[in-house]
Amino acid sequence: MTPQSIPAGATTGPQQVDIDLADRSYPILIGTGLLDANTSYAGLPRAATALIVTNTTVAPLYAQRLQAALAGRYERVHTVELPDGESFKTWETLNRIFDELLSHACDRKTVLFALGGGVVGDMTGFAASSYMRGVPFVQVPTTLLAQVDSSVGGKTAINHPLGKNMIGAFYQPLRVICDLDTLKTLPARELSAGLAEVIKYGPIADMAFFEWIESHLDELLMQESHAMAYAVRRSCEIKAWVVGQDERESGLRAILNFGHTFGHAIEAGLGYGQWLHGEAVGCGLVMAARLSEALGLVDAAFVERLTSLVRRAGLPVVAPVLDAADNSNRYLSLMRVDKKAEAGEIKFVLIDGPGLATVRSAPDALVAKVIDASCIPA
Asked if residue 268 and residue 166 are part of one domain, the reply reads no
> Is residue 171 assigned to a domain?
yes
Question: In one letter, which amino acid is 321?
Answer: V
Q: Are 266 and 322 in contact (CB under 8 A)?
A: yes
For residue 326, is it within any domain?
yes
pLDDT for the residue 89? 96
Query: Are residues 53 and 115 in contact, defined by beta-carbon separation less than 8 angstroms?
Result: yes
Please identify, among 135, 154, 185, the residue that sits at the C-terminal boundary of a domain: 185
Per-residue pLDDT tens, the chain, 378 aa: give them.
Answer: 444 444 544 555 689 999 999 999 999 999 999 999 999 999 999 999 999 999 999 999 999 999 999 998 999 999 999 999 999 999 999 999 999 999 999 999 999 999 999 999 999 999 999 999 999 999 999 999 999 999 999 999 999 988 889 999 999 999 999 999 999 999 999 999 999 999 999 999 999 999 999 999 999 999 999 999 999 999 999 999 999 998 888 889 999 999 999 999 999 999 998 999 999 999 999 999 999 999 999 999 999 999 999 999 999 999 999 999 999 999 999 999 888 888 789 999 999 999 999 999 999 999 999 999 999 865
Would you list the DSSP string of 60-117? IIIIHHHHHHHTTTEEEEEEEEEPPSGGG-SHHHHHHHHHHHHHTT--TT-EEEEEES
**Where does a domain end: 132, 166, 185?**
185
Q: What tens digit of pLDDT does each residue of 109-156 get?
A: 999 999 999 999 999 999 999 999 999 999 999 999 999 999 999 999
Q: How far is CA 216 from the centre of its chain?
A: 21
> In the chain, helix, strand, coil percent, each to 5?
50, 20, 35
Longest CA pairwise span in the chain (Å): 60
Query: DSSP H helical segments within 131-206, as ranges?
Result: 144-145, 188-205
Question: Is the domain of 287 the same as that of 372?
Answer: yes
pLDDT given at position 343:
77
Judge if 148 and 274 occupy the same domain. no
Q: Give yes or no: residues 177 and 277 share one domain.
A: no
Q: Are 299 and 278 in contact (CB under 8 A)?
A: no
For residue 10, what pLDDT is reported?
52
Residue 214: how many other CB atoms lie within 10 Å: 15
Shared domain check, 140 and 41: yes
Number of domains in the chain: 2
Residue 1 lies in a domain: no
Residue-by-residue DSSP string for 275-318: S-HHHHHHHHHHHHHHHHHHTTSS-HHHHHHHHHHHHHTT---S
Using DSSP bridges, classify how beta strands 74-82 and 47-55 pair: parallel, antiparallel or unpaired: parallel
Cα 286 to the center of its chain, rounded Å: 18
How far apart are alpha carbons 376 and 319 in whole angstroms? Answer: 8
What are 182-216's pLDDT values in tens digits? 999 999 999 999 999 999 999 999 999 999 999 99
* Nearby residues of 254 by Cβ (< 8 Å), 6 or more positions away: 340, 347, 349, 359
User: Are residues 24 and 156 both part of a single domain?
Assistant: yes
Query: pLDDT by residue (tens digit) across 61-75?
Result: 999 999 999 998 999
Q: Does residue 161 sit in the same domain as residue 264?
A: no
Q: Which residues are catalytic?
A: 133, 155, 197, 239, 249, 253, 257, 260, 264, 277
- Cβ-based neighbours of 256, under 8 Å, separated by 6 or more: 149, 153, 200, 204, 239, 242, 349
User: What amino acid is encoded at 175 in this protein?
Assistant: R
**Residue 198, in any domain of the structure:** no
Q: Is residue 242 part of a domain?
A: no
The last residue of one of the domains, among 127, 159, 185, is 185
Alpha carbon separation from 60 to 32, 66, 116, 150, 189 (Å, rounded) = 19, 11, 11, 22, 20
Q: Which CATH number characterizes residue 356's domain?
A: 1.20.1090.10
Asked if residue 66 and residue 155 are part of one domain, the reply reads yes
Does any domain span residue 239? no
Whether residues 263 and 159 share a domain: the answer is no
Same-domain check for residues 180 and 321? no
**Same-domain check for residues 172 and 44:** yes
Q: What is the dihedral of CA 327, 330, 336, 337, to 10 degrees?
A: -140
Q: Is residue 206 part of a domain?
A: no
Is residue 228 a part of any domain in this protein?
no
Instruction: Check if the beta carbon of residue 30 is closer than 8 Å to that of residue 40.
Output: no
Structural domain including 145 reads: 15-185
Residues 178 and 265 in one domain: no
If 0-12 CB within 10 Å is exposed, 13-18 middle and 19+ buried, where does residue 9 land? exposed
Q: For residues 297 and 289, what is the distance between their CA atoms, to the nearest angstrom? A: 9
State the CATH number of the domain containing residue 69: 3.40.50.1970
